[in-house]
Amino acid sequence: MRKRTKAREIALKILYAWEITGDPIDICFEAYRNNNDGEEDAVMEYAECLISGIGSNLEKIDEGITGHATNWRMDRMATIDRNILRIASFELIFMDDVPPKVSINEAIEIAKKYGSRDSGKFVNGILDKIKDECRDK
């Protein structure tokens, strides 16, 4: 598995723990790090970049998602889908070094792996709209 793919999956696990436990996001990151000593530094650095970026920009990210999720509020989305969307949206909006196609394809694959049968299509539809909006700016 590629390093950034692994980092995205780690970020998903941390975001999931953050939502389920209600603990601060940095505490969830540290708990993951403490329980997974064997992760490569480059993987953990990118996961940390994603987690801290999402934490710092959560409101803007969530507004972008809900603005393109017709008839879906954030609290109605599956926790996995919601957090996959947050990761990819952060990359699309704030990370110029990640090609949009890569962010979207990775999100779809992670959604297929961890989400429901329809998660890949759901994630793809919303991220395509966010990508188009980012490109227009």
Asked if 17 and 23 touch (Cβ cutoff 8 Å), the reply is yes
What is the number of other CB atoms lying within 10 angstroms of the CB of residue 106?
Answer: 20
Give me the architecture of the 3-136 domain, per CATH: Orthogonal Bundle (1.10)
Query: What spatial distance separates the first Cα and last Cα of the chain, rounded to whole Å?
Result: 33
The one-digit pLDDT tens for each residue of the chain (137 residues) are 799 999 999 999 999 999 999 999 999 999 999 998 888 889 999 999 999 999 999 999 999 999 999 888 898 999 999 999 999 999 999 999 999 999 999 999 999 999 999 999 999 999 999 998 876 55
What's the chain's Rg over C-alpha atoms? 14
Distance separating alpha carbons of residues 75 and 82, to the nearest angstrom: 9
